[in-house]
A and B are shown apart, each in its own frame.
Chain A
Amino acid sequence: MQYLINGLPIGAIYALVALGYSLIYASAGVLNWSQGDMVMLGAYIGYSLHRIAGWNFILSLLCSMISVAVVGAAVKRTVLSTLRARSAPPINVVIGTLGVAIICRNIALGVWGPDAQPFPSPVGSSPIQIGNLRIVGQDTLIVLTGIGLMLLLQYFLKFTREGKALRAVAQDRMAAALMGIDPELSDTLAFATSAAMGAAAGILIAPLFFVTFNMGAGIGLKGFVAAVVGGLGNIPGAIAGGFFLGIIESVAGGRISSGYRDAISFAVLIVVLWLRPSGLFSRTVEDKV
């Protein structure tokens, strides 16, 4: 039970990042390999506002999400649109966004330096004892904020005009375009929203680890894995995949072996994919000629 509780915060982080991958894949049909570095940028901007400029936590979180969303939209407008215009194969999108990731990472290295920066938790770090479970304030903050953001995203997708447009594009790009929806705009929106989700994940996880220029690589990879296991393009799947991965890691690390933790979770995920080739939570559709 304790392992389950411990898995939730990291699972929420993975879920936020996974949502980014899935949202972009649903709308634009591409893999955005710079998602992890949006997490890193979010953490650094939050760090600068909260720790250096002394803003309060909520305001820093919002500002960081907005500015990283602008970066995400810029990536779509400059990189993806150009790649699209040249009808590049999917692998080129991966390599192109990987180039963006490397650029972001090294600009961050130049701006904030190579040292890991501490980011103390805004809610303190003393654990609360409930029965025989120990719950840490920061973990609770992560889970609650994470779930709040996921609900906000659901609201955006289900009840706003732009959100509905995005879902229409995800379902059938051509038909949506014929109905007067601009699919390019909805791609930009997907990139911006994903980047904002990533930024929030970055600020939330910063108190657990330090803020470093290469923190994006690991989290980005885990988020991608969570999105794939949940079924890419499937929003509830991404959330479930994130928590699933977080809990597996926590159980594998606590119960079996901490050194082999990631190896065990990867092995479990490969077996999951073998049994359900398009993810745990999506309906399998046979290819037709």
Chain B
Amino acid sequence: MDVSAFRMRRARWCAVVSVLVVPFIVPNSYYLHLINLIGIQTLVVIGLNILSGYTGQISMGQAGYFAVGTYTSSLLMMRLGLSFWVSSIAAAIASVACGIVIAIPALRLSGPYLVMATVGFGEIIRLVLVNWVPVTRGAAGLTGIPAPSLVSIPIVSERGFYYLILATVSAGVFIAVRLSRSKIGRTFAAIREDELAAESMGVPVDIYKVAAFAISAAYAGVAGAIYGSFAGVASPDNFTFDDSVAFLCMSVVGGNRSVWGALVGTVALTFFSEALRFLQSYRLILYGVILLSTAIFMPQGLSGLGPLAGAWLSRCAHSRGGRGRLWRGGEKRGA
């Protein structure tokens, strides 16, 4: 083991420890609440990145899967008294089912036509939630969604949720990273780059596309299940077209070709819009300017700056005689 590998390992342990102690060092529960929301949104955006970044299928209906996840798990807990864990698995299954249903017309569509189909899906889900009053309580929404409990200890505090969300996001990141390096991930990329070429090489394109929709729906469904219990309330207003668009913005601003991009985009947009609150009504103008300038100046998204910054930092480090690779992902994600 040479020095740099040792440093890498040390940096990793530092990162793990600092992530674990976050709930004890943030100044107040508002920030922890924000961090938890970011975690939940990150899960949705990772799913979206697998669909749109890896496989090249743009979706503007991600809030629909998110809603299916929230309502399925909440209603199972409230009406049938099932546990959170069973309900969230059911939520994932329900979302995956929706993903497969929308994938069937989507197989034949691309570009703007696909955008329209996914927008339509998201809106249909929202309108069903508004109008199916006997089950969903309509526009009033659900209140008093039960909290999850771990071996009869209920998770209710922001701190408790932090660890639940941290564990889920870690698992989500792990799965997505493994997936992107596997045969499936490479096939997704092949479909994105040239669908016809992939098909002529014998790739069953349809099956992989359906799988991409199903995986992204599963992420959103699990995120939705956690969101329901975390917020305690849910109404159709939480799952509008604007929310789908926000997920897409996070994905593109962060960089939709990488798992870390999902995290970077979600963190950046959430913190920007919170940090700019003092500007009041000018806040959203600035938000628009940020979207516009990211689209123009950072075609790979914010995470596309990572390798550049990493190269710059390591040049600086080399000039001082060190061997520091300060940015962790830089050397691992060559492709």
Contact = CB atoms under 8 A, between A and B. Distances in A.
A106 B253 CA distance: 21
B284 A92 contact: no
A106 B284 contact: yes
B202 interface: no
Contact of A263 (B58, B127, B195, B253): B127
A98 B269 CA distance: 15
B65 interface: no
B206 interface: no
Contacts of A141: none
B116 A96 contact: no
Given A91-B58, A277-B113, A266 B285 contact: no
Interface residues of B, number: 49
A174 interface: no
Given A79-B296, A95-B253, A270 B291 contact: no
Interface string B288-312: 1111111111010000000000000
A88 B295 contact: yes
A96 B295 contact: yes
B131 interface: yes
B112 A25 contact: yes
A141 to B, nearest CB: 30
Contact of B288 (A101, A224, A263): A101
Interface stretch (B7-15, B76-84, B118-126): B118-126
B326 interface: no
Interface stretch (B103-111, B211-219, B221-229): B103-111
A229 to B, nearest CB: 8
Contacts of B299: 86-89, 92
B319 interface: no
B127 to A, nearest CB: 4
Nearest to A289: B196
Interface stretch (B16-24, B85-93, B241-249): B241-249
A147 interface: no
B28 interface: no
A99 B124 contact: no
B109 A273 contact: yes
Interface string B277-291: 000011011011111
A95 B120 CA distance: 19
Given A98-B245, A100-B288, A262-B123, A110 B281 contact: yes
Given A257-B131, A262-B127, A277 B108 contact: yes
A31 interface: yes
B249 A263 contact: no
A178 interface: no
B281 A90 contact: no
Contact of B296 (A25, A82, A257, A271): A82
Given A95-B294, A277-B113, A270 B120 contact: yes
A61 to B, nearest CB: 28
B167 interface: no
Contacts of B290: 99
A228 B113 contact: yes
A157 interface: no
B32 interface: no
B252 interface: yes
B135 interface: no
Contacts of B294: 95
Interface in A232-279: 232, 257, 259-260, 262-263, 266-267, 269-271, 273-274, 277-279
Contact of A106 (B200, B241, B245, B288): B288
Interface of A: 25, 31, 79, 82-83, 86-96, 98-103, 105-107, 109-110, 217, 221, 224-225, 228-229, 232, 257, 259-260, 262-263, 266-267, 269-271, 273-274, 277-279, 287-289
15 contacts: A82-B296, A86-B299, A91-B256, A96-B296, A99-B293, A102-B284, A110-B282, A110-B285, A260-B128, A263-B127, A266-B120, A273-B105, A273-B113, A273-B116, A274-B108
Interface of B: 52, 58, 104-105, 108-109, 111-113, 115-117, 119-121, 123-124, 127-128, 130-131, 195-197, 200, 241-242, 245, 248-249, 252-253, 256, 281-282, 284-285, 287-297, 299
Leading 7 A-B pairs by shortest Cβ distance: A99-B292, A102-B288, A99-B291, A96-B295, A266-B120, A103-B288, A274-B105
